[in-house]
A and B are shown apart, each in its own frame.
Chain A
Amino acid sequence: MAAAHPRGRHRIRGVTRLAGLPLLAAWLGLVLILWGCTDGGSPSGPVTVVFKHAKLLGPVDPMPPLLKEFEATHPGIRVKAESLPWSSDEQRQFLVINLEGGNPGFDVMMLDCIWVPEFARAGWILDITDRLAPGELDAHFPAAAAAARYRGRDWALPWFMNVGLLYYRADLLAKYGLRVPQTQAEMVAAIRRVRAGERNPRLEGYLWQGKQYEGLVVNALEAIWATGTEVLGADGRAFPDPGRAAAALDFLRGLIEQGLSPRWVTAADEEITRRAFGQGEAVFLRSWPYAADLFELPDSPVRSKVGLAPLPRHDAGTPAPGSTGGSHLAVSRNTRHPEAALALVRFLTGERAQRMMAETGAVKPSRPALYHDPALVRAFPSLPRIHDLTLAGRPRPVTPVYVMLSTVLQPELSAALVGVRSSAASIAQARRQLDFMLAGLEG
C-alpha cells in the first residue's frame, strides 16, 4: 500500500526512523530500572524475616498460630512464611538454586537433616555456634544434635524428628503364642508360623521400602548397620567391609525370593506399605512414627492391634538402630537480620512450639522431654515407646557428601534387590562411581 504513495511512504520511513531510537532507549531504561530494583529494601521500620518451609501434614496446620504468637512476643519482627514445594527433591532443588545464586530472598529455611553438613560446607547457612547458649543443642535427641554439627560447629536446630521402627501385629503374634521378634531369624520364623496358621493368601509377611529413592537407602543402611558395618568408612571410602554389606543386601533380597516380603516392595514407598499394613495385609512393617497414629484412627482395620518395636537384629549381639530423620531449621548466611532470624529458629524449635506441633499430630518432637508430657501422652499413647526407639536411633552419615553417596547408591541397591546384579557386584559398581565423585573432596 505504502509503495503506491511515494510521499506517504517517505513520511512513514521518517517516523519509523525517529521512533526506533526512543523505543530502544525506553527499553534500555526499563532494563536499568529492573536491575536497580534487585538491590532495594529499606533498613528502617520493622524487620521482616522470610521463612521457607514445607506445609506440615495433619488435620490442622499449627504454623499460622505459632507465627502469630512469635510476632506478638517479638515486636519489631515480622515473619513472612513462604511454602516450599511438596517433595523433598524439589525442596532441595529450590534451595540449592537460590542459595548458590547468592541472593536467596529468604532468611530462615527448613532443611532435611541430611543436608545440614552439605549446606554448611557450601557456606550457605550461618554458623550459629557462638549465638547458642552452652548445651542448647543437648536438649534435643543426640542423633538430631549430631545431624546439626559439622566440623565441631553448630549449624542448625532440630525442628522435628523421625526414627525407623518395626510395627507388628500384636494380635496375630499373641494368637500363635509368639513373642516380638528380636532377630531377623525370629521374625522370619514368626512370619512362617502366622501365615501357615492364617492360610490367607493376601496376608504378606514383612513390608519395607524398596523403591529406588532415599527411602531405599535408609532401609539398606539399617540392614547394613545391623550386620555391624558402615556405608561410609572412617577414611571416607564407601563400604569399608563390602562382605558384610553384601550379606545385608542378600538378606533383603532373600526376603523377596522366599516370599517373606512381597515382590512389590521393590516399588514401594512409605505410603504404599503403610496403607497395605493398615488394611491388615501384613504381619510386620518397617516405617516411621507417623504411621502409629494413622493405625489408631477410629475406622482403621488394625486399630489397637499394632505394636511398636526396635528393628530386628542381624545377630543377637549387635544392636540394630533405626535410622533417624526429620527436619532442622537453619539461617541463610546472606541474611541481613541474623538476630531476628535466629530468634525465629529458636522459637520454632523451642519446647512450646514443638509441643503445639506435636498436639496437631503433624510431627514428632526432637526434644525428649516432650515424649513424657502427660497431655501429649494421653493423646498419643505410643510416645514413650517412640522415645526409647528414637534415643537408640542413629543418624545417616553426617557428611557433606551424603546426598552424593545416596544418589549413587539408589540404583545399585535397587539392582541388588531386584536381582539384576549380585549384591557384591552392585557394591563394587557403587564404589567405582563414588571414587570418581568423591575424588579430592575432603569431608
Chain B
Amino acid sequence: MRALAPRGTGLVLVAPALVVLAAVTAFPALWVVWLSLQRRVPIFGIAEFEGLRNYVYLAADPRFWSAARVTLIFTVVSVGLELVLGLMVALALAGQRRGLRAGIALLLLAWALPAVVTAKLFEWLYNPAAGLVNYLLGGARLNWLGDPTLALPGLIFADVWRTMPFVALLCLARLRGIPAEVYEAAHVDGAGPVATLLRITLPLCRQILLIAVLFRTLDALRAFDLMFILTGGGPAGTTETFTVYAYRSLFQTLHLGLGSAIGVIVFALVMLVAWGYLRALGREGIAA
C-alpha cells in the first residue's frame, strides 16, 4: 500500500492539468453555449443576447429536422452494419493461420486512409458513367451521389468500408485472447459450431463489442468529412448531417449563434449517448 500525500500537495500538483483542461475543454464548451443564446453575426458587428430564439427557430426549421433524420439513419445503419460485418470478418480471420497477417494489413489499409482520400476514391467508384460500382452492377447507370434516394446509402457504404476494420480489429484482438481450453471444453461437452458461437464466442466478445459501438456511435453522430467532400450535403440536403449544417452556419453564413445552437444540440446528444453506453458498460463490468 502506498501512503496518501496530503491533500494540499496533490491539488497543487494536479492544478496545471486542471487549469489546462478547463482552458481547452470547459471554457470553449461554455462559450459555445453562451454564443448559442445570442444573435451574433460578426460581419455586421451584431452581438445581441436573445435567449432561446435560435433554438426556437431550429425547432421549426425543416433543414434542422432533415439533418436530424439523416444523422439518425446514418448512425444506426452504419454502426449496425459495421458491427455485424466487423464481427464476421474477425471470426473469419481468427480461424486463419496463413492469411492472417495479410488480412490484417488489408484491413488496416482501409482504416488508415485519410478520409479525404477515401472520399475521392468513392467519388470515382460512384461515377455514374465510368465508376466501378455501376460496372459491377452490370452496366447500370445509377446516379449514386446525385439521386436523393441513393446518396445516403452510398455514403453509408463508404463509411462501413472505411471503419468496419476498426470493429474487426478490436474483435480479432479479443478473439485471439480467448484461451483454447474454453473451446476444447465446449467441444468435449458436445457443443456444435453454432452453439459455440452463441454461447461462448459472442458472450466473451460482448464487452469489446459494446466499446466498439460506443466509439463508432459517437463518431457517426459527428459524421462530417465523407458527406462534406462527396456530396456537400446534397442532393437536396439528403446527406446533410448535424455537423455539416453546423459547419455551414458557423463558417459559411457566419451566423455564430445559430451554428453554436446546432453545436450545443450535437454536444448534448453525444453526451447523452456516451452516458447511456457508459452506464451499460458499468453494469457489464460489475456482472463480469
> Hey, which bits of chain A sit against chain B, CB under 8 A?
1-3, 9, 13, 16-17, 20-21, 23-24, 27, 89, 92-93, 96, 100, 118, 121-123, 202, 210-213, 262-268, 272, 276, 281, 400, 403-404, 406-408, 410-411, 414-415, 417-418, 420-421, 429, 433, 436-437, 440-442
Contacts and interface: CB of A to CB of B under 8 A. Distances in A.
Interface string B134-173: 0000000101111110010000000000000000000000
B43 A122 contact: yes
A212 B44 contact: no
Nearest to A204: B129
Interface stretch (B25-33, B95-103, B204-212, B227-235): B227-235
B118 to A, nearest CB: 16
A3 B2 contact: yes
B252 A436 contact: no
A92 B252 contact: yes
A253 to B, nearest CB: 12
Nearest to B154: A267
B12 interface: yes
A165 to B, nearest CB: 23
A397 B41 CA distance: 20
- Contact residues of A: prevailing secondary structure: helix
Contacts of B128: 262-264, 267
A404 B253 contact: yes
Contacts of A267: 128, 143-146, 151, 231, 234-235
Contacts of B236: 212, 411, 414-415, 417-418, 420-421
A211 B9 contact: no
A265 B249 CA distance: 26
15 contacts: A3-B2, A13-B3, A13-B5, A23-B16, A96-B254, A211-B231, A262-B129, A264-B129, A267-B231, A400-B44, A407-B253, A414-B234, A415-B236, A433-B61, A440-B46
B146 A268 contact: yes
Given A100-B42, A433-B63, A212 B255 contact: no
Contacts of A433: 61, 63
A9 B13 CA distance: 18
Contacts of B238: 420
B127 interface: yes
Contact of A411 (B1, B45, B234, B249): B234
A96 B144 contact: no
Contacts of B5: 13, 16-17
Nearest to A439: B39
Contacts of B82: none
Contacts of A264: 127-129, 143, 146
Nearest to B11: A20
Closest 7 CB pairs of A and B: A212-B234, A267-B146, A266-B146, A411-B237, A415-B236, A267-B145, A264-B128
A89 B43 contact: no
Interface string B229-268: 0011111111010000000110111110000000000000
B44 A414 contact: no
A13 B6 contact: yes
A441 B143 contact: no
B272 interface: no
B114 interface: no
B6 A202 contact: no
A264 B141 CA distance: 9
Contact of B42 (A122, A268, A410): A122
B285 interface: no
Contacts of A27: 16
Nearest to B16: A27
B3 A417 contact: no
Given A9-B3, A92-B252, A212 B12 contact: no
B252 A263 contact: no
A3 B3 contact: yes
B3 to A, nearest CB: 5
A403 B250 CA distance: 12
A96 B43 CA distance: 10
B235 A414 contact: yes
A212 B233 contact: yes
B15 A24 contact: yes
B129 A281 contact: yes
A403 B148 CA distance: 24
Nearest to A18: B9
A429 B61 CA distance: 10
A441 B41 contact: yes
